[in-house]
Amino acid sequence: MLASIAAPEIVRASRAPMDASPPAHTTFRNEAVLRGMVARGHGLEAISAYLQQSPDEILDAVVRLDLPTPHDRPLRQSSSPKAWKASDYLPLIQDWLAGFHAATIGERFGRSAGAIWAKVRWLGLPKRDRRSVARPNREAAAAREAIEEVGQFVTDEDGNRIPLQRKPGTGQLCWIRDLDIVLGKLWLGNVHHRVIAKLWGVSPGTISSRASRLELPPRDRSQLVTQYDPAVAARNIAEGGFIYRACKSKPGWFFWCQRGRTISKLGRKALQRRSSGFCEDYSVSYDLGSLAL
C-alpha cells in the first residue's frame, strides 16, 4: 500500500533532474506488460528499449515478480524503412492499455489495425475488456497527442512513477487512470485535499473537483488527516464496498463507486441524451494504464 503521504519519495510531485535516467515520463507501471514480454522471449536490451527503462530497473522488477531472467543478446534492429522504431513501442503500449481502438492507434503510427494487432501479439501485451475499448474522434486523438510533459511525477505504493502531464496553453493537469486510483486511495484514507494538492502542485479546488467527478464520497472534516494510513484506507474501502471500475454506458470512463453499481452519473446523462434522440460522440483521455482494485 501507499506509505506515508508526507514522505517525499512516496507521493510528492517532484521535478526530475536533467540527467536522470530514465526520464520520469518513461517509467511504466503495468506488470502484466513485463510478464508478457518475458513470456514472449524478448531480451533484456529489447525490453529496456521498448519500455524506456534502464536494464537495472527491468531486472529489479523481474526479481520482484519472480520471472525468468531475460536473455542478454543484443537488440536486433531492422534497416527496413517500414520497421518500427524503438521509441514507438512505449506510446503503442500506453495507447493499448488506455483502451484506444486498434484502428485509432494505427492512425497515430500510419499503420493498419491488423498491423497493430500483430505487434500487440508479438509484444505479448495483455488482453483488454472489450467494453473499455473506445475509438475517439480525430479531434480527441489530436488533443491527446498535444499533452505536454512537465517532468513531474507521483510515486505509487509499489514505487512506480506516474507522470504528471499538463495540457498546453491552459496548464491544466491531465488526469489518467493510475492517478485517479492513487487519488481515490488517498481520499478514502481521509487525507486532506489541501495536503494532496500541495504535494501534487495543483490547487485544492482541482483535487476536490476531480474527486467529485470520480464520485468519491463526501468526508467528515473532523476526520481529515495529513498523514496517509494504508490501514484506514483499506478499512474504509472494505466497509464502504468501494471499487474503481469502467462505466458500462460511457466507453472509456472509469469512476469510483460501491459494489453493484455499473453506471456512473456521466453514464446516466449519456443514456438520457441517447433516449432523447441526441447522439453523443465519445472520446477518451490519454491514459497510461487501466487498473481496478
What distance in Å separates the CA atoms of residue 50 and residue 73, rounded to the nearest whole number? Answer: 15
Mean pLDDT value across the chain? 78
- HSE, CB side, 13 Å, CA atoms: give it for residue 89: 24
Sequence-distant (≥ 6) Cβ neighbours of residue 137 within 8 angstroms: 281, 283
Sequence-distant (≥ 6) Cβ neighbours of residue 33 within 8 angstroms: 51, 93, 97, 123, 124, 125, 126
Higher pLDDT, 108 or 6: 108
Residue 163, strand partner residues: 153
Sequence-distant (≥ 6) Cβ neighbours of residue 146 within 8 angstroms: 167, 168
Dump pLDDT digits (tens) for 270-283.
888 877 765 444 44
pTM of the model: 0.50
| pLDDT band, residue 28 (cuts 50/70/90) | very low
Q: In the chain, where are the structural domains located? A: 31-125, 143-275
Q: Cα dist. 131→34, 41, 97, 247, 249 in Å?
A: 24, 30, 13, 9, 9
| Residue at 258: amino acid letter | Q
Dump pLDDT digits (tens) for 134-151.
676 555 555 454 444 445
Element containing residue 231 per DSSP (H, E)? helix 230-240
Mark out the alpha helices in 81-192 (DSSP H runs): 89-98, 102-109, 113-123, 138-145, 177-188
Dump pLDDT digits (tens) for 230-266.
889 999 999 999 999 999 888 889 999 999 999 999 9
DSSP readout, 122-138?
HHTPPP--GGG-B---H
Question: How confident is the model over 157-165, as a mean pLDDT?
Answer: 73
Question: How confident is the model over 215-240, as a mean pLDDT?
Answer: 92
Give the closest residue to 219 by CA, choosing from 196, 248, 244, 251.
196
